[in-house]
Amino acid sequence: MTKLLRSWVESANSESCPFPLNNLPHGVFSVAGSTPRCGTAIGGMVIDLHGLEEAGWLDFSGALKTGSWNAVMAAGRGEWARLRARLTDLLAEGASEATALAAHLVPMRDAQLHMPFSVTEYTDFYAGRHHAFNVGTMFRGAENALPPNWLHIPIGYNGRASSVVVSGTPIRRPHGQIKGRDDVAPRFGPSRRFDIELEMGAIVGQPSNGPISVAEAFDNIFGYVLLNDWSARDIQAWEYQPLGPFQAKAAATTIGPWVVTSAALEPFRVSTPVREVPLLPYLHEPGPMLYDIALEVGLTPEGGHETIISRTNYREMYYSAAQQLAHHTSCGCPMRVGDLLGSGTISGPEKTSRGSLLELSWGGKEPIEIAGGTRTFVEDGDTLVLRGRAIGDGYSIGFGDCAGKLLAARD
Ligand code: MN
């Protein structure tokens, strides 16, 4: 396990800081209404990469001023590594350029964070063993909880890129067509069982056109963000058969503001869990391609205090993002720079490690305790925050909060 890399930005050197020199996550920011541009978090600061390029410290052909990381991703893996190496040198403790570079730092609290990249396509998977078992048990009974294909295929559906928003964007409770088990006819109205899904989003940084291997897929992933796949369970329950979720998940998906690169996560690679049945050869992992990332979900009611409602780990997933991406291309489906792959809800084996309220409250039957009340599903005014942290030797790699507040449905 690598150790903390020390920086001349002092706040980056504490063990609890989510953004040490080892991390260098990529985002897009503006200050006081300026044009959004690419930045990297270091300690409690954001370093303005467009500013660094204008001042001659970096040379990436203007890609850093575009207000999105797509151009850098498209430039290829060699350029990803060159940028990381250059920033690591410039920000290292003892760097001779420190005084001049400090002019390009902005305090995190002054930076407004924007969508870090343009989401070209969005696919969401269903790759958490515990989540699939829990939801399957509630919807179909424990006997038929796991569909017969689940242990063979990373199940997914093609979602909507148009409704992916960055952390901090308010979410409006959606309307939809709903029919409860005992209702004779469906009605149209606001969702009453609005939920979250704790996920990681993998970002495809290199295009492909035709089937690619799991190893190639791993190399094509630029980095990861926290992802909340907001889900209207009552709309979902009525619409999902036979083609899967549609309007239940199309209202909004929130992603975190910081893309943590695959390079930063390299020391935290772990294997997927033991296979319960052998996978077909095209899905075999040539090495550990999942990551050990501690995750939690906080819920804060309007005007209230936060309760951590779930703690789990990304390593609980049955399929890695590389396996999902390889499977996605297996029919020849082209993938584009900026393609976003949701992992599927990350639930652990414990009751307190479930990644959705549907599971935490067992379909609404067992309300959970929060500060000042109870919850079955998300209520108007609630703010949900996802957090993630890979814990190293004397440092940790954070993702920044992935937050969203639920607003009441429109009349
Ligand atoms: Mn999902």
Domain span holding position 148: 122-407
How high is the pLDDT of residue 16?
Answer: 94
* Model confidence band, residue 124 (pLDDT cutoffs 50, 70, 90): very high
278 is a domain residue: yes
The DSSP H or E segment spanning 140 is helix 129-140
Which CATH number belongs to the domain containing residue 290 in this structure? 3.90.850.10
What distance in angstroms lies between residue 124's CA and the mean position of ligand 1's atoms? 6
1 is a domain residue: no
DSSP state letters, 221-256: EEEEEEEE--EEHHHHHHH-TTT--SGGGTS-EEE-
- The C-alpha torsion from 344 through 350 and 351 to 354, rounded to 10°, is -20
Same domain assignment for residues 54 and 179: no
* Model confidence band, residue 271 (pLDDT cutoffs 50, 70, 90): very high
Largest CA distance in the chain: 74
Same domain assignment for residues 105 and 126: no
Q: What percent of the chain has pLDDT over 70?
A: 100
Residue 177 bridge partners (DSSP): 188
What's the CA angle centered on 14, arms 8 and 20, to 5 degrees?
A: 60
* Model confidence band, residue 263 (pLDDT cutoffs 50, 70, 90): very high
Same domain assignment for residues 107 and 126: no
Residue that is last in its domain, among 73, 96, 114: 114
Residue that is last in its domain, among 114, 142, 175: 114
Same domain assignment for residues 40 and 90: yes
Same domain assignment for residues 88 and 132: no
Same domain assignment for residues 99 and 156: no
Average pLDDT over residues 297-316: 98
Residue that is last in its domain, among 114, 146, 170: 114
What distance in angstroms lies between residue 363's CA and the mean position of ligand 1's atoms? 16
Give yes or no for residue 33 having a pLDDT over 90.
no
What average pLDDT does the structure give for the chain?
97
Residues, CB-to-ion distance under 5 Å, ligand 1: 124, 197, 229
What distance in angstroms lies between residue 281's CA and the mean position of ligand 1's atoms? 26
Same domain assignment for residues 179 and 104: no
- Beta-carbon contacts of 92 under 8 Å, excluding residues fewer than 6 positions away, are 5, 6, 7, 8, 21
Same domain assignment for residues 60 and 108: yes
Which CATH number belongs to the domain containing residue 96 in this structure? 2.30.30.230
What distance in angstroms lies between residue 342's CA and the mean position of ligand 1's atoms? 7
How high is the pLDDT of residue 1?
Answer: 61
3 is a domain residue: no
241 is a domain residue: yes
99 is a domain residue: yes
Same domain assignment for residues 127 and 101: no
Total of domains in the chain: 2
Reported as a single tens digit per residue, the pLDDT across 277-303 is 999 999 999 999 999 999 999 999 999
205 is a domain residue: yes
Reported as a single tens digit per residue, the pLDDT across 208-229 is 999 999 999 999 999 999 999 9
What distance in angstroms lies between residue 77's CA and the mean position of ligand 1's atoms? 28
Give yes or no for residue 401 having a pLDDT over 90.
yes
What distance in angstroms lies between residue 358's CA and the mean position of ligand 1's atoms? 12
The DSSP H or E segment spanning 172 is strand 171-172
328 assigned to active site: no
Same domain assignment for residues 72 and 143: no
Give yes or no for residue 140 having a pLDDT over 90.
no
CB 58 within 8 A of CB 104: no
From 26, 50, 130, 131, active-site residue: 131
* Model confidence band, residue 139 (pLDDT cutoffs 50, 70, 90): confident
